[in-house]
Amino acid sequence: MVQTVKEFVTDCYQLTSANSPFVTLPNGDFTKGLQIVNELLGAFSGTGNMLTISQEISTPVNPPMSGGKSFVTFAASGADVNNGRLANIEDAWLVLDGVTYPLIPVTDHSFDEQYKYDPLAGLPIYAIIVDQINQTRLQLYPAPSQQYQLFVYGKFELPLLTPAGTMAGIPTYYLRFLKLAAGRDISFYKGRSNAWDEKLENMYLQAYDDMQAATNMNLNINDPLGNQLNGAYRVRAGI
């Protein structure tokens, strides 16, 4: 049975509430509780560490000279891919005529430290991640010289909850952790921090560890291969 957002927020309060579980949650408390839950969802999306299991997303990319562009944006709406901000990338690749071409994900800072050239056209090698406030931009370098199908495997920011909504968009295994995390924060806002006892804290820490265990890699992008634009890489990039 899928909980409504109001039922979920009520459960968060009841973790430390002195009231009967049958007492209706006041509208002011519900609004504050919903704010806290949404703040947590946003905070957990910062690095993707406390988000849910990764997803695979696919979208076509066209060459800039034929009306396409060298980058793809990810956001909740108004982007090339409206699946939420890309909070963490684990893998990316291109497919053309059944052939897979792997991409090397790097941050824009690491990329700019190595070199800065005008965009080229050819077979893309790099997926350059530019993390912005409400969206993530993934730039392909070199720019594609023909249409490819881009695949991205990573974690996407969860949408914010609405007062009249349900918890259907959040996986069931995630709800226990989110409920404890929200109840923990709510207890401080309600002056009930003393009610958050050691037993509840241990439950929260266990749920926290379980969520971290859902991540199958180190979430920081590191480039152990150094400057890629040397030798074979320069040839492939057309430099």
What are 93-122's pLDDT values in tens digits? 999 999 999 998 887 765 665 555 555 678
Rounded to the nearest integer, the mean pLDDT of the chain is 83
Query: Is residue 48 very low, low, confident or very high in pLDDT (cuts 50, 70, 90)?
Result: confident
**pLDDT of the residue at 141:** 86
Q: What DSSP element (H or E) covers 14?
A: helix 5-14
Q: In this model, does residue 193 exceed pLDDT 60?
A: yes
d(CA 235, CA 190): 62
pTM, 2 dp? 0.72
Alpha-carbon 28 to chain mean position: 30
Per domain, the residue ranges of the chain are 5-49+158-196, 55-155+221-236
Q: In this model, does residue 149 exceed pLDDT 80?
A: yes
Beta bridge partner(s), residue 140: 127
Q: In this model, does residue 220 exceed pLDDT 90?
A: no
Average pLDDT over residues 15-44: 86
